[in-house]
Structure 1
Amino acid sequence: MLILTREDIKKVFTMKDAIEADKEALRIYSAGKSVVPLRVNIDIPKEQGQSLFMPAYVEELDATGIKIVSVFPKNIEKGKPSVPAKMILLDGKTGEVTAIMDGTYLTQLRTGAVQGAATDILSRKDAKIAVLFGTGGQAATQLEAMICVRDLEEVRVFDINNERAKEFVEEMKKELSQYNTKIVAVEEAAEAIKDADIITAVTTSRRPVFDGSLVKKGAHVNGVGAYTPEMQELDETIVKNADKVYFDTEEGVLAEAGDFIIPMEKGIVSKEDFKGELGQVILGEISGREDDEEITLFKTVGVAVLDVVTAYNIYKKAIENNIGQHVEL
């Protein structure tokens, strides 16, 4: 069994690798070639916590796995992470555990990468200006994914706390110095999206973070952060005005994302207004962007097959490069 830390993963697996892994995962999911049971949530009232178990199986890779994510707010008082996570990868042929890896970084990586996959497939090839809303734990990989797939001149970063946005920008300038992209903090949401070619929101906001009527023709929008029926980081205008709307999984988005549940309940949009899944575009079953004037929109809430396929590819690279710690049990 191989133990892989965050640093181990970083040594062998790039954002580009993760984007290709997520494309593979979305293709497999939309082709109906994965088994993704409903996640199991266990409440821990004594500690005001919750543990979530998210399994999946991918036959063509002979891989199965389960990500265990816990939410224990009181951990902060103990000097421990409030959302600890681990990914357990199994050999699909023998059922043996082959690896345990840092689930927190895996989640950040595959979530950034699924947006990167959508941006690569759906945004204009000549995109130059991007915007990132939110500077939380998922923001760094979201930023890298955008500048990994497009030769961007500038990325504008907005957060409701402008000081936090400025701190994030300074940190990202160092961390992503290998890219030739100007990263700046902006104080107004309207200023941020002016003439923007790519807009990515990764927040837990319960109200829209930008005015959808200001989104220019030809832009591509990613909704990444809102993942419950009450959260709504994308306003109803952009959901209605987008020429084409795509999901990571239709079942997941329409069951979990307030960005779509709220306008659907109001009768502003219906299921028929949505194009389908990104995996269907990859499979050639539905069209992607067809001209430079279309506004495209992608929404992700995550699915366990992304974790398993990404973890499998990380494991393969780690074995090839002799990275990680082997443990006999």
Structure 2
Amino acid sequence: MTDTHNFIRYINSEALIECGVYEIDLAVESTKYSFLMHGHQECVLPPKTIFALPLSQSPIDRMAVLPAYVGGTVNFCGVKWLGSSSRNENLGLPRASATILLNCPLTGRLIAILEGSTISAMRTAAVACIAVEYTRPNPYSLGCIGIGKIGQLTVDSLLCKFPTIKDVNIYGRSKEKLNAVTKILREKHPRCVFSQSTEIKSITLQSEVLILSSTSAKPIIKIDSIPDDVLILNLSLRDADESVFLNCDYIIIDDWQECCRRGKVIYALVKNGLLSKSDIYSDLGRLVAGIDAIPSKRPSRTMVFAAGLSIHDIAFASLLYQRSIDKNIGTLLEL
């Protein structure tokens, strides 16, 4: 169901909360379905368009356009319009912002505008939950490198979905922020024992599942910081250096073309002849579709490298859009 063709539904951050954007089960449901469509090739995922901001000072100073179509019961197309800047922290602004546009697949007309940064963060957390479900479903300990919005939401989501997790280890450069984030998570998940550190190795070496989600402009983790038996959820651009990728037993990706984009570690490895597509064990879409499965071999180092796919944004946004219509939430803008 959609609104009439004469109106666009605008759904801001407050309206998204009313629609359930922070419900991890909802995010996992839509993200798993978009992975299923990806595994069965029932989606369209054109290349991202990325360009640097004027006077760029960092690789994160950029704009990106991420179009997609998701078939099946979703049947929506759209675009995520993303901007990020290293200058924002000094301005009291979030590093990144996003807007999602949904279009009718029959007419091509714009039908909805949604605040996109929370949708993007929650679908990233959902990808992490799906990766754990299909590669290491009963983890005991969890580590996180980087405690921004995505890191915090991913830790919270994994603790909600996997009650076997008892130990949580968090790394951050700011002691003040570490204390604040740990306090929030401890109050929400009292079953867990939390530890924190400003030293990376003290976190990585004691974590069975390791989230990499910092915004570092260069690699900060080498293979000597990685245990022999671990699932690495690589949600960042550059946290892990080449040695980590080259010493994993299994590498799982979300999409080969997206993971091989310039600026990502896999791109450099492929360009230098150190890695090829045949070295990739599988992708998450094929795992969700039941085409492939991870062997039960332990110990093993498994890397899940998620470049971030716009099909997940469109699938989750379309579900929230339908909820907004059902609940009469949002603002109608006349064309």
What TM-score do you get using the length of structure 2 for normalisation? 0.84
SS of equivalent residue, structure 1 residue 327? strand
Q: Distance in 2 between matches of 1:240 and 1:313?
A: 38
Whether 2:256 is the aligned partner of 1:250: answer: yes
Task: Tell me how many residue pairs correspond in the alignment.
Answer: 321
Query: Hey, what does 2:129 align to over in structure 1?
Result: 116
Q: Distance in 2 between matches of 1:212 and 1:106?
A: 32
Q: How many angstroms does 1:169 deviate by?
A: 1.8
Query: Hey, what does 1:212 align to over in structure 2?
Result: 223
SS of equivalent residue, structure 2 residue 46? coil
Q: Distance in 1 between matches of 2:63 and 2:217?
A: 23
| Distance verdict in 2 for CA 1:179–1:122, change over 3 Å | farther
Q: Deviations over 1:253-277 (max 9, x none)?
A: 1224533234445554433221121
Q: Which has the higher helix share?
A: 1
* Structure 2 portions without partners, runs of 5+: 1-7
Query: Hey, what does 1:150 align to over in structure 2?
Result: 162
Amino acid at match of 1:299: F
Q: Deviations over 1:66-102 (max 9, x none)?
A: 1112346666777665633211112223333332111
Whether 2:42 is the aligned partner of 1:29: answer: no
Whether 2:26 is the aligned partner of 1:17: answer: yes
SS of equivalent residue, structure 2 residue 260? helix
Q: Distance in 2 between matches of 1:192 and 1:82?
A: 25
Q: Distance in 1 between matches of 2:256 and 2:212?
A: 19
SS of equivalent residue, structure 2 residue 31? helix
Query: Hey, what does 2:81 align to over in structure 1?
Result: 68
Whether 2:107 is the aligned partner of 1:94: answer: yes
* Structure 1 portions without partners, runs of 5+: none
Query: Hey, what does 2:150 align to over in structure 1?
Result: 138
Q: Distance in 2 between matches of 1:6 and 1:250?
A: 32
| Distance verdict in 2 for CA 1:239–1:76, change over 3 Å | closer
What TM-score do you get using the length of structure 1 for normalisation? 0.85
Q: How many angstroms does 1:218 deviate by?
A: 3.7
Q: Distance in 2 between matches of 1:297 and 1:259?
A: 13
The correspondence for 1:5, drawn from 8, 12, 34, is: 12
Q: Distance in 2 between matches of 1:72 and 1:218?
A: 36
> What does residue range 1-329 of structure 1 map to in structure 2 within 5 Å?
1-11=8-18, 12-13=20-21, 14-41=23-50, 45=54, 51-60=63-72, 61-71=74-84, 83-123=96-136, 125-151=137-163, 152-174=165-187, 177=188, 180-226=191-237, 231=238, 233-256=239-262, 258-329=264-335
Q: Distance in 2 between matches of 1:191 and 1:43?
A: 35
RMSD: 2.8
| Distance verdict in 2 for CA 1:132–1:217, change over 3 Å | same
| Distance verdict in 2 for CA 1:264–1:103, change over 3 Å | same
Amino acid at match of 1:191: S
SS of equivalent residue, structure 1 residue 64? strand
Greater shift, 261-270 or 153-162, is seen at 261-270
Q: Deviations over 1:17-72 (max 9, x none)?
A: 11221111122123222122223346664899754322111232220111112346
| Distance verdict in 2 for CA 1:321–1:178, change over 3 Å | farther
| Distance verdict in 2 for CA 1:30–1:179, change over 3 Å | farther
